[in-house]
Structure 1
């Protein structure tokens, strides 16, 4: 597998003040943990480390560390990278040393391959339950990612750790029943339709500004009906004799 390199320098001082001074000169406080040695305090060059992260692109890789002040080397992998949540600046880096002839544990990213049958023909949706898998390997056997083929996966089915294809030299450490990726039915969209009330054709809309009749009151007759119902004029009184 491809191996990456990174220059490191030993640092003597620790604490917040010392870390701030390092960041001001564009360096990152770091620490190297070893199985058979005490943790070693280091510092890294920001531009070089930034280029390394872009090249690695989230894969599980080994990094050859070169001590600038001593010249000796060590093999390691990135354990953790801490960033400022506001400025995104690097705050601290944890590295884990490994030996070429010793197995070690590491988290390896899952890489989905193929087009799921459930997605293609059943309108299903893929859900990745475990984006990283814990494995135990020798440095020479470390995969950059673990491919999970979902071509035959149907709606309602799940690929679990125990059902994954074995990889030579790689030991899976997660429980066998742990789900890795599933094909599920899409969540139905709930659409609420509001039906506007439409007045019937025979009902006359009240005039603008007209007061509504009081509850229980008898509606007033229309104008024509009222005119027809008016009493006739009284007959002329008979002439006096």
Structure 2
């Protein structure tokens, strides 16, 4: 497991006013807590936290947290990250200080590796149904992600949670749930084809010849009983 570090500063004051001031200074308010420590209010630079999450592509990572004024780093994970609903910028972070002897429950990302035989040779479609699963493990055993080789899958094959096995990691997600499946190709008739068929049908009806024995009306001849009569005028 590679080493991931982050620097934070202790902050004074709590509440909306204090948090607002921290954000104005370009930082995010946060708190460190855990089973073996008292809560500590901290502030972390917004760009440093955002860059870390963007670089790692996840939040379930073990971080060596360097707290200003302390001699040794704390081992933490990001337990909760609140973001602005409009901009997506982090607004508050909860940092959980772990115990090296206690298992953690957390989510792990699932990555599919390879191209299934059913896709390469039969035109099938690979569908990833579940992109994360819940796991439990000691802090030092947190996986970066869970890789599953799908290259041998054919059309109709599926991989379920029960098929995953990771050393020193317990799988919590229900075993019967599907991770990925290869489905047959689907032929879809596009809307333009349907519309074209409808137009052809209408044109065929308009140009159809009258039935045998049915005479066409002669041009200029008024149908019987429909002859126009001059106005006779009203009697006074």
Which of the five TM-score ranges fits, normalised by the shorter chain? 0.7 to 0.9
Post-superposition offset of 1:145: 0.6
1:70-106: per-residue Cα shift (whole Å, max 9, x none)?
3342101122322213223221112222122332122
Q: Check conservation: 1:60, 1:109, Cα contact below 8 A.
A: no
Post-superposition offset of 1:217: 9.9
Structure 1 Cα separation of the partners of residues 160 and 181 of structure 2: 9
Judging by fraction of residues, say which structure has more helix. 2
Alignment of 1:29-108 (within 5 A): 29-58=29-58, 60-108=60-108
**How many residues are paired up?**
209
Give me the TM-score of the superposition, normalised by structure 2. Answer: 0.77
Which is further off, 145-154 or 90-99? Answer: 90-99
- The answer on 1:124 being equivalent to 2:142 is no
Structure 2 Cα separation of the partners of residues 41 and 128 of structure 1: 40
Post-superposition offset of 1:41: 2.5
Unaligned runs of 5+ in 2: 222-236
Q: Check conservation: 2:59, 2:77, Cα contact below 8 A.
A: no
Q: Check conservation: 2:32, 2:42, Cα contact below 8 A.
A: yes
1:109-162: per-residue Cα shift (whole Å, max 9, x none)?
111111112211222222222211211112222210111111122222211111
Structure 1 Cα separation of the partners of residues 95 and 187 of structure 2: 45
Match of 1:209 in 2: none
Post-superposition offset of 1:68: 0.3
Which is further off, 123-132 or 47-56? Answer: 47-56
Match of 2:7 in 1: 7
Give me the TM-score of the superposition, normalised by structure 1. Answer: 0.76
Unaligned runs of 5+ in 1: 204-215, 223-241
Q: Check conservation: 1:75, 1:97, Cα contact below 8 A.
A: yes
Runs of 4+ in 1 over 4 A off after TM superposition: 198-203
Q: Aligned with 1:112: secondary structure?
A: strand
Match of 1:225 in 2: none
